[in-house]
Structure formats: structure tokens, C-alpha cells
Chain A
Amino acid sequence: MKARRKHEGRWAWRLTGFVTVCVYIFMFAPIVATVILSFNASMFGGFPMTGFSLQWYGKLMANEPVLAAFRTSLWIALVTSAVTTAIGVVTSFALVRFEFRGKQALSTLVILPALVPETILGVGLLVLIKAVDQPRTMLLLVLGHILLAVPYVVLITQARMVGIRRVYEEAALSLGASRFSSFREITLPLLIPAVVGGALLAFTISFDNTSASLFWRPAGVETMPTQILSMLKISISPEINALGTVMILVTVGIPLLGGLILQSLTRLKRRGEPKEQAR
């Protein structure tokens, strides 16, 4: 009896492992195929490979609309990331440290942009500016991206903020530090992992946004994803696969690099600090 039970458990565990492996393959197969195909010598985007070639990368580097879209997206993402992080940090500071009326409602409202479908957010803002007769501008697009990224940044910084004990700040205040310097000297350094994490996430959310950008971009402006979308309407060329590969390198490389820098930073700091730390 006991042996059979054990056998049953092992069988279930194996099934779990098997499905897990399948899911990982499922997640990475299309990405791997895209990277491989970007080196295809053939004119047509698809298997079988006819040879190894870097020509599509060369074509890409000479493709002015793509480069313009890349620059646009990069700027938007950098501004979005910086502003959203700043807003997010003060917001979660207020939400964690203070008691005020309407706090609960506000914290629900803050995560709403992550739950409302982008199409609705997109149409809503368009209808609003149409009602007050305003044009679509870059500022609008950036503010829209900030709206989309804010919930994630607030959630990340909030989670970390909860773990920083307020007595540290209060000690600084009681020793005569100003409120701002106690925040800058005590809270912010402890919050750094969440700040960097939030900034990276905001960058990716903005750089990657498709649906809402389709509604909000000013006439004639393409961001990277909308540019890809319009290229896909024409054909699936190996050039798109090359573009995809470059994007994968950028969007995976930057956060990984950021994470590594972060890790070595905290390690350096740990060395200089006493062991006791806020959770």
C-alpha cells in the first residue's frame, strides 16, 4: 500500500516536471526561431534555412524609418521611466507612511490603469482631447505612457517601502534632519533596488507599448512597436526577424545589465555597512 502511494506521488511529480519543461519550451521556441531565422540568407522569411547571412542586419541599419522609430521610442521610454519612477516613489511613500482620508480609494485607483484594457484607455484619452479640441502631441503620448507604467512602479516601490521601518526616518528627524534630507539620506538608499526595478519596468512598458500608442501617437510619428506593426502588414521579411532579434537584445540586455549592476552595488554597500538591515 505504502509503495503504491509513493509511486503515485512520484508519477504526479514527474507529470508536473514534464508540463513545466513543455511550458518553458513553449515560451522560448518562437523567440529562438525568430533569432535563428534572422540569419537566414533567403529572401523569404521562413524555413528551411538557405544559408547564413548578416545582410538583414545591414539592411536594418540603413532603414531610416526604423531608426527614427527606434530613437523616438528610446526617448519616450527614457522620459517615461524617469518621471514615472519619481512620481511612483513619492506616491508609495505617501501611501505607506501617511494616514489620510481616501487612501484606500486612491491605492485602488492607482492600479486601475493596469487592469483597464489599453484600447479603452486609448479611446478615452482621444475622446477627451477631441472634446476639448486639442491635437495629439508627444507630451500626450509620454503622459499616457506614464499612466500605463505608474501602477507597476507604485506596486514595486510600495512593496519595498513597507519593509523599511519608519523609526529610521524618525530617528533622523529627531536628530534635526529636515524631512527632505531624512528621505534622501535614509529612505531612498534603502529603496534603491525598488527604484531601479521600477525604472527598468517603466522603460520596458513604455518601449514596448503598442495598443495605446496606436491611438495616442501624433500624426506621422511611429514608435518602435507601431513601426513593426505597419511593417508586418506588408510582409514577414527576414528583416523583421533581424529587427526582432535586435529588440530582444535591447530589452533583455538592458534589464539584465541593470540587475547585475544593482547586485554588485548592493554587494559593495553591504561590505561597508553593519549587518543589521531592514527586512
Chain B
Amino acid sequence: MKRQWTLYDPRLAWLLVAPVLLLLIFFLVLPIAVMAAYTFFTFVTAGVETSALTTANWHEFLTDSYYAGFLLKTLRVGAITALLCGVLGYFPAYFIWATTFKHKWLLLLLLIVPFWISFTIRTFSWINILGEQGVINVALLKMGIISEPLPMLYNEGAVILGMLHFLLPYMILNVYVSLEGIDRTLISAARSMGCTSAQAFREVTLPLSLPGLAAGLLLCFVLAAGSYVTPQLLGSGRDALFGNLIYDTIMGELNWPMGATLSIVLFLVLGSFAAIYTRFMGMSQIVKGLGG
């Protein structure tokens, strides 16, 4: 006997999502669960641990101010980066949205192109700008404004600049998408009621674009706080962030239980920011932002 399928049968749906579901379970959910379990494993020596349960890793994390300092610095750098992205990203997004320029798509394309260029290359290319032999130093030396090259590289500022370069397109596209969702007749209505363009912006456009701005801020913050390559390339040892700490603990010290603990901490901290965000804003805005 033939099995009966209805037109939009849930069983067929499960069949269709099976590949993605398996992938997510085995590569996302299960790893995080095992990692959480690993935080209670006992570290014996580099590369060796036993499954004897202990709270030593958590104890070490919670009592050693070294880790707290790292976490705070990471959150601070992430927050500064996200805020700078918000301030600097809003203008271009607004400009592209409001401009009467015919080839808007070109302005958007120019923002998407950096997305395609290898992230590692975009990051190291800043060395050509900020380095001792970079554009800025050479130009200033030639003009005689300075006699010694300015040390602009391998500090926190360079790390933030590099992340800004990486994250700005995310912010601009997020804000742009939410501006595009605004019904333009609302602004005309505000203007016809006697608002100045500044008032119309403050009262109508800005509030309606806040969801996009908030999604961009969250995205930039999470990606900046989780970064590894940028601090590695543009920062000094002192500018390492939590991602570098995790990498060194796992790949350098081979202390897997501690590495797992640090990863879970970062996951929980960033996750709670995302959870607070979705509690107030909902998930859809992030989805829109990621989808471009």
C-alpha cells in the first residue's frame, strides 16, 4: 500500500531539513555540550586530561583576576568597536538611502566588495598604512612634520581600527536595510505638518531605523569580542583578546579543560548579550541584517 502524503506533509519537511539538522547537531550543539562537560575534566599535563570530575577549572577562572581582566578588556574593546561602527556607519547608510544619486547600487556594491576580499589580507593591509614605512609615516616624514616614524601599529588603537574596517560594512548594511523598510510617506507627512528636515529625522527616521542600528551594534560587538586574527596581526602581545587566550590555551599549552572553560565563558557572555537583545528586539532584525 502506498503511504499517504499530504501536500505539505511535516514528515517531508523533516526529511528536507535532515541534512542541516544533522550538521547542526554534530558540529554545533554536540560540540558545545561536550565542551561544557570538558570544563569539569581534570588537567594532568599538556595534552593529557582525565575524566575525573573537578571544579578546578571554574575555580581557577573565577578566582584568578588574570582571566577577569582579559574578559573585561575584550568586552571593552568590543564595545568601543561596536559604538564606533554605529557612529561611523550610520552616516553612509543614511546617505545611500537618502541620496538622489541614480546609481545607488554602485554605492552598495562598493560596500559589499570589501566583504569578498580576504579578511586576512584586509587586516594585514593596514600595516601598509600605519607601519613605520606605511603611507602615513612616510608622507609625514617627507613633509617634515615629524622626524621619527610614529608608532601607530601594534597597539590597541590599531586593533580597533582593523576591526572597524572589517565590521563597518555589516553596520552600514544593517542600518541601510532598516532605513529601506521605512515608509517614505511618513517623512513627507512629517514635513507637511511643519517639521524641519532635522526634526523629521529626529522624530521619524531615526527612531524607525533604531532596530537596524541595534542589530548592527550587537553583530559588531559579538564579532569584535570573538575576534582572533585582528589582535594577532595588528596588536602587540598585550593587546591579545579572549579569542587569543583560548587559542593559546588549547594550541599552545594544550590545556584542553581550561580552553573549554574559557570558550564556554565567552559563549555564555556573548550569548547573554544576544539573548537580552532578542528579548527586546526579536530575532528577525538580525536575520535581515545577516541576509543583506
Question: Do B28 and A210 touch across chains, with their CB atoms under 8 A apart?
Answer: no
Contact A150 B23, beta carbon cutoff 8 Å: yes
Asked if B173 lies at the interface with its beta carbon under 8 angstroms from chain A, I say no
Within residues 192 to 215 of chain A, which ones have a CB less than 8 A from any CB in chain B? 204, 207-208, 210-211, 214-215
Residues of B within 8 A of A95 (CB): 17
Contact yes or no, A247 B121, CB < 8 A: yes
Interface residues in B74-100 by Cβ distance below 8 A to A read 88-89, 91-92, 94-96, 98
Q: How far is the CA of A196 from the CA of B29 in the complex (A)?
A: 29
* A9 CB contacts on chain B under 8 angstroms: 196-198
Given contacts A9-B196, A117-B243, contact A204 B116 (CB under 8 A): yes
Contact A46 B34, beta carbon cutoff 8 Å: no
Tell which of B16, B94, B126, B251 touches A90, judged by Cβ atoms closer than 8 Å.
B16
A251-B243 Cα distance, complex, nearest whole Å: 26
Q: Flag whether B66 is at the interface (Cβ < 8 A).
A: no
Cross-chain contact B10 with A111 (CB below 8 angstroms): no
Number of interface residues of A (CB under 8 A): 98
Residues of chain B within 8 A (CB-CB) of A251 are 116-118
Chain A window 198-237, contacts with chain B (Cβ cutoff 8 Å), 1 for yes, 0 for no: 0000001001101100110000000011001100100010
In angstroms, how far is the closest chain B Cβ from the Cβ of A82? 13
Check if A23 sits within 8 Å of B116, measured CB to CB: no
Are A147 and B92 neighbours in the complex by a CB distance under 8 Å? no
CA distance A48 to B143 in the complex (A): 13
Interchain CB contact under 8 A, A27 and B246: no
B226 touches A87 (CB 8 A): no
- Say yes or no: B114 contacts A121, CB within 8 Å: no
Q: Are A123 and B259 closer than 8 Å at their CB atoms? A: yes
Size class of B's contact patch? Answer: 35 or more
Chain A residues positioned under 8 Å from B26 (CB to CB): 128
Interface membership of B73, Cβ < 8 A? no
A79 touches B (CB below 8 Å): no
- Chain A 21-56 near chain B by CB (<8 Å), digits 1 or 0: 001101111110110010000001111100000000
User: Bound complex: CA of A231 vs CA of B127, how far in Å?
Assistant: 14
> 0/1 per residue, A107-118, Cβ < 8 Å to B?
011111111111
Contact of A100 with B14 at beta-carbon distance under 8 Å, contacts A128-B30, A229-B229 already known? yes
26 contacts between A and B (CB under 8 A): A13-B98, A19-B92, A23-B89, A24-B110, A30-B125, A46-B134, A91-B20, A99-B8, A110-B20, A112-B28, A117-B243, A117-B270, A119-B228, A119-B266, A120-B246, A123-B263, A124-B28, A127-B259, A143-B23, A150-B23, A151-B290, A156-B292, A248-B117, A248-B118, A248-B121, A252-B116
Given contacts A13-B98, A236-B124, 4 further A-B contacts (CB under 8 A): A31-B114, A90-B17, A120-B246, A215-B251
- Chain B: residues with CB nearer than 8 A to chain A? 7-10, 12-14, 16-17, 19-21, 23-24, 26-32, 34-35, 38, 88-89, 91-92, 94-96, 98, 110-111, 113-122, 124-129, 131-135, 138, 142, 164-165, 168-169, 172, 196-198, 201, 219, 222-223, 225-229, 232-233, 242-243, 246-247, 250-251, 256, 259-260, 263, 266-267, 270, 274, 283, 286-287, 290-292
